[in-house]
């Protein structure tokens, strides 16, 4: 018997838009509808947290892990590149498309000291989607003064989980 998604009416096919476990547990919604539902629930939860003062929005919360990478770094980029097409938050693999049509993933890091060198560590996570990585180096988490910026072709670093650049290797 063919089961249909109770939201959009699509036929549920194991491996394509649902799993056998979900069908066994009478969860008759397709992957896309579940994803839309989860996104709306997260948005409602975040809105509630912001309204009640339990959590600051990302652009106001310097302690938020995404504040540096999303809010600060991408804002700096809009002043460096022209004709930037910014992707929605959470787009897998890249953050914007430059004026020449290249997919660019923005990485940011604050200076750290390991006892020998000052350096910045950028997490690449073997990203093969981005054609370029724009790495922004900041002095510290409190002041957030940009010190350096590197545009690295994806083919040079996309096979790595991370890149470390020290002051002595600039």
Same domain, 13 and 80: no
CATH of the domain at 162: 3.40.1350.10
Summarize pLDDT for 14-25 with one digit per residue, the tens: 999 999 999 999
Tell me: do 71 and 140 sit in the same domain: yes
Identify whether residues 113 and 34 lie together within a single domain.
Answer: no
Domain boundary among 55, 71, 89: 55
Q: Do 139 and 74 fall within a single domain?
A: yes
**Structural domains of the chain, count:** 2
Are both 156 and 100 inside the same structural domain? yes
- pTM > 0.85: yes or no: no
User: Can you give the three-state secondary structure of the chain, one letter per residue?
Assistant: CCCECCCCCCECCECCCECHHHHHCCCCCCHHHHHHHHHHHHHHHHHHHHHHCCCCCHHHCCCCHHHHHHHHHHHHHHHHCCCCEECCCCCCCCCEECCCCCEEEEEEEECEECCCCEEEEEECCCCCCCCEEEEEEECCCCCCCEEEEEEEEHHHHCCCCEEEEEHHHC
Asked if residue 170 has pLDDT above 60, the reply is no
Task: Give percent of the chain above pLDDT 70.
Answer: 98
Do 142 and 98 belong to one domain? yes
pLDDT of residue 62: 80
What's the domain range around 13?
A: 1-55
Residue 66, pLDDT > 60, answer: yes
Taking only the tens place, the pLDDT of each residue in 73-92 is 777 777 778 888 988 888 88
Same domain, 43 and 76: no
């Amino acid at each position: 018997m063919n089961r249909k998604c109770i939201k959009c009416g699509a036929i549920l096919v194991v491996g394509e838009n649902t799993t056998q476990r979900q069908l066994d547990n009478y969860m008759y919604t397709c992957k896309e509808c579940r994803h839309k539902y989860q996104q709306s629930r997260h948005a409602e939860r975040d809105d509630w947290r912001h309204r009640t003062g339990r959590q600051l929005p990302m652009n106001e919360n310097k302690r938020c892990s995404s504040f540096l990478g999303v809010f600060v770094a991408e804002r700096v980029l809009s002043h460096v590149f022209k004709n930037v097409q910014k992707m929605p938050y959470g787009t897998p693999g890249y953050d914007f498309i430059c004026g020449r049509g290249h997919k660019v993933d923005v990485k940011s890091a604050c200076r750290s000291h390991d006892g020998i060198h000052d350096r910045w560590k950028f997490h690449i996570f073997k990203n093969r989607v981005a054609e370029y990585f724009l790495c922004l180096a900041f002095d510290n988490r409190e002041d957030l003064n940009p010190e350096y910026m590197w545009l690295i072709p994806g083919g040079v670093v996309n096979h790595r989980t991370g890149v470390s650049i020290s002051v002595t290797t600039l």
